[in-house]
Amino acid sequence: MNTPRGIILEIRAGTGGDEAALFAMDLYKMYSKFAQYQGWKQSVIDSSQTTIGGLKEIVLEIDGPEVYNSLKNEGGVHRVQRIPRTEKNGRVHTSTSSVAVLPKIEASEIKINPADLEIGTTRSSGPGGQNVNKVETAVRVVHKPTGIMILSQTQRSQSQNKEKAMEILRAKLYERQQEQQSSQIGQQRREQIKNAERSDKIRTYNFPQNRITDHRIGKSWHNLEEILDGKLDVIIKAFRKQS
């Protein structure tokens, strides 16, 4: 595979209820702002929000030079320690959200048999303009041999949503192919998300101590708000020094 110019980024709330969903929103804003600073193109493919402004999950694509090399180490479980805004007694809560980073795969690199696909349409529940919710623009693609299901609903037409869904499907099939080819790679990828339990963490965001710690390289930074505002360069550079 050539170095991809784009990624599929998936963020999902893990352990911690509403606070986990709010943290998932924080992570989305962090990556979105970082992409803006880099001049990368980004678009939301699917998202599900909570009533208090959090995210149950969001799937987006980001395109641009060095996007995969920059963000490939972000995959895993991210843990937050802070006092939720709904906490009356001032207690620090621990919650998690998971991040998956999948390289976008060209159609020529993954062959998909059309007979293996079940494609359906529905009305979109996502953003995209007044007309989006009036017609069946959302596309659901099911890959029958693997059971992988993709929903794309933020584009303005069925054809655009189908194209985005197929991009995600290729990325997921490529990931599965890599797992089958190499047990080591498979173990690494399976461990990327796990079950989003508090102990399965790659990074901790500790608000009371204004500290972010990446547990894989054993390094901490004390500019938490700045990093959450999209200034991820310090972490990315630290990983590049390790490689």
Where do the domains of the chain lie? 6-106+192-234, 114-181
Q: Could you say which of 1.10.10.1150, 3.40.50.150, 3.30.160.20, 3.60.9.10 is the CATH number of the domain covering 114-181?
A: 3.30.160.20
Q: Could you say which of 3.30.70.1660, 3.30.420.10, 1.10.2020.10, 3.30.70.20 is the CATH number of the domain covering 6-106+192-234?
A: 3.30.70.1660
Instruction: Report pLDDT for 32.
Output: 97
Q: What is the mean pLDDT of residues 132-141?
A: 72
> pLDDT class for 131, splitting at 50, 70, 90?
very low
Q: What is the mean pLDDT of residues 116-121?
A: 91
Instruction: Report pLDDT for 24.
Output: 96
For all residues of the chain together, what is the average pLDDT? Answer: 85
Residue 186 has pLDDT above 50, yes or no: no
pTM beyond 0.95: the answer is no
Instruction: Report pLDDT for 106.
Output: 80
Express each pLDDT in 197-210 by its tens digit. Answer: 545 699 999 999 99
Residue 182 has pLDDT above 80, yes or no: no
Q: What per-residue string of b and e applies to 217-229 under the rule 16 or more CB within 10 Å gives b? A: eeeebeebeebbe
For 23-81, give the DSSP string. HHHHHHHHHHHHHHHHT-EEEEEEEEE-TTS-EEEEEEEEESTTHHHHHGGG-EEEEEE
Residue 219 has pLDDT above 70, yes or no: yes
